[in-house]
Structure 1
Amino acid sequence: MSPVPEQPKPTRLRPLWLALGFVLTGLGFLGLILPGFPGTVWFILAAAAFAKGDPKWEAWLLSRPVVGQMISDYRAGRGMPLRAKWIACICIVVAVAFSLGRIPVLAGQVVWVLVGLAGVWFIALRTPTKR
């Protein structure tokens, strides 16, 4: 039997953290079914929001079969499987390439490419590879 998490002290921000957690969880589940839309990052952010809003919802999210393992691996510093890193980097490159033409201003295009490069850099070089 798992221990019951402590209830957080009531704050005015608690409902906002909970709402953010639910929105991020929804985006995460969309990422599980939509190709090219990563879900892991949304679940990690949702767990962080739930941790500040209500630990019961955080525990629920961590108990999900696939999702809970991804969040636990990230929190423990175990990183991502190599295949997932490749898929994430390719998705970023494809998303940036397809959306670049829709940005009418050159400065916006440059910023968008830099954001994409930062994402690839973080995943490829800063995120540990899980063996």
Structure 2
Amino acid sequence: MVLRFVYLAAGWLAIALGILGIALPLLPTTPFILLAAWCFAKGSPRCHRWLRQNRWFGQMVRDWENSRGLRRRYRNRAVAMMLVTFSLSMWLVPRLGLKLMLLAIMVAVLGYLYRLPVVEEDSP
């Protein structure tokens, strides 16, 4: 019972961080939503079903669970948002070392995104 509560709480925390990640550059939305799906699968079938059917995140969760990939449009949106938010962050940060750290993080995450399989749009 306690473990179920921990999974449920962690899932909702991941949802909250994923939603914050839509606007904040260093909080990536997709991994937090996928973490929430995993936590919900372990702790609450009802919440897992809700997330899989969610109009904003459901398709991404289903694609990941079925094929460990993302649709091209989701990847393109993620790349566009990363470029905008990381560029803004690098412009605002005064120290060269921090700019280089942000650049390294961005390149690493972009590399990871481009290595993921692309799920075709006509897939269920």
Q: Tell me the TM-score normalised to structure 2 length.
A: 0.72
List gaps (5 residues or longer) in structure 1: 1-9
Q: Is residue 2:105 matched to residue 1:115?
A: yes
AA at the equivalent of 1:100 = M
Seen in structure 2, the aligned counterparts of structure 1 residues 78 and 21 have a Cα distance that, compared at 3 Å, is closer
> Is 1:129 aligned to 2:118, yes or no?
yes
Moved segments of 4+, more than 6 Å: none
Which of 25, 29, 33 is the aligned partner of 2:15?
25
**Percent of counterpart pairs with the same letter?**
31
Could you tell me which runs of 5 or more consecutive residues in structure 2 were left unpaired when the two chains were aligned: none
Contact 2:7–2:42 (8 Å) recurs in 1 = yes
| Root mean square deviation, CA, Å | 2.9
1:116: how far off?
0.6
Within the alignment, does 1:67 sit opposite 2:53 as a pair? no
The within-5 A match list for 1:31-110 is 39-77=29-67, 79-110=69-100
Equivalences, count: 118
CA distance in 2, matches of 1:26, 1:110: 28
Decide which structure has greater helix share.
Answer: 2
- Which of 1 and 2 has greater Rg? 1
Whole-Å Cα distance in 2 between the matches of residues 58 and 90 of structure 1?
28
Query: Residue type of the partner of 2:112?
Result: F
Task: Please give the TM-score of this superposition, normalised by the length of structure 1.
Answer: 0.69
Q: Aligned equivalents of 2:59 and 2:88: distance in 1?
A: 32
